[in-house]
Amino acid sequence: MIGNWDVTVGRVLRTPSAPVTYGLIALCCLLFLAGPAAGLNPAYGTGDALLAAQRAYFHRWGVVPAELFQGSPRAALTPATALFVHGSWVHLLGNMLFLYVFGAMAEERMGRIRFTLFYVGCGYLALLGYAAANAASEQSLVGASGAISAVLGAFLYLFPRARVTSLLPFLFFLPLRFPAWVVLPFWASLQWLAAGRAPQGPGVAYLAHLVGFGLGFLYAWARFRRTTRVRAAPAPAPEGENQP
């Protein structure tokens, strides 16, 4: 139990120390730049050769639901390796923005080791849940979205009144500040609606977002329900409302 919670809350909200969060961002960026998806490594060639290298790369390190449940040890590891692989610049930058915005405070609250295990564990289960629901799919699934969605779910429980700056298209992208208990359930609702309309084949794995979000919220509730949660405080608002 934390002795002086008010002092700790102020420190968490103003100057979070988050080496794991920043390390994850750096690792994902470095792997992306070194891989074929970035298109910057001449070793992968150009044109059709580059496209073939990208497909092989995603198939090797991403989750292929049709292969996951066949008992292969290599395939069983892919829900973990896929967390560090991204398919495009937009995919990478969107995910890393969300991790930067919400990860630091969640890490500070959980602790470095717990946050690391939480991130990888929830990310693994989120991708596993998506694969189970699409067991016949042969499309590769990559990205940290499931793990980052878990961070959002935990953030909602831990910091429900933290102010989040959001850009809403129907309000001409004006930056508006809302509490997390408004922004994050709204985001989760959009994922739910999108999951019901998502076509088969390549696209955004909305179901993995939902599974991750639910796991993150449940973990935070189970782990911290007997401790005081963060109340409203004059903290700098995280930036962005970009889909992971």
Q: Which residues are catalytic?
A: 145, 209
Decide: helix, strand or coil at residue 105. helix
* Residue entry with tokens 């103003």: 14
CB atoms within 10 A of CB 163: 21
Decide: helix, strand or coil at residue 101. helix
> What burial class does residue 40 get, using C-beta atoms within 10 Å of its C-beta: 0-12 exposed, 13-18 middle, 19+ buried?
exposed
Rounded Cα gap, residues 16 and 31, in angstroms: 25
Contacts with 45 (C-beta within 8 Å, 6 or more apart), sequence order: 53
Query: By the 8 A CB rule, do 61 and 81 touch?
Result: yes
Rounded Cα gap, residues 104 and 51, in angstroms: 35
Rounded Cα gap, residues 236 and 130, in angstroms: 35
Contacts with 13 (C-beta within 8 Å, 6 or more apart), sequence order: 105, 159, 162, 230, 233, 235, 236
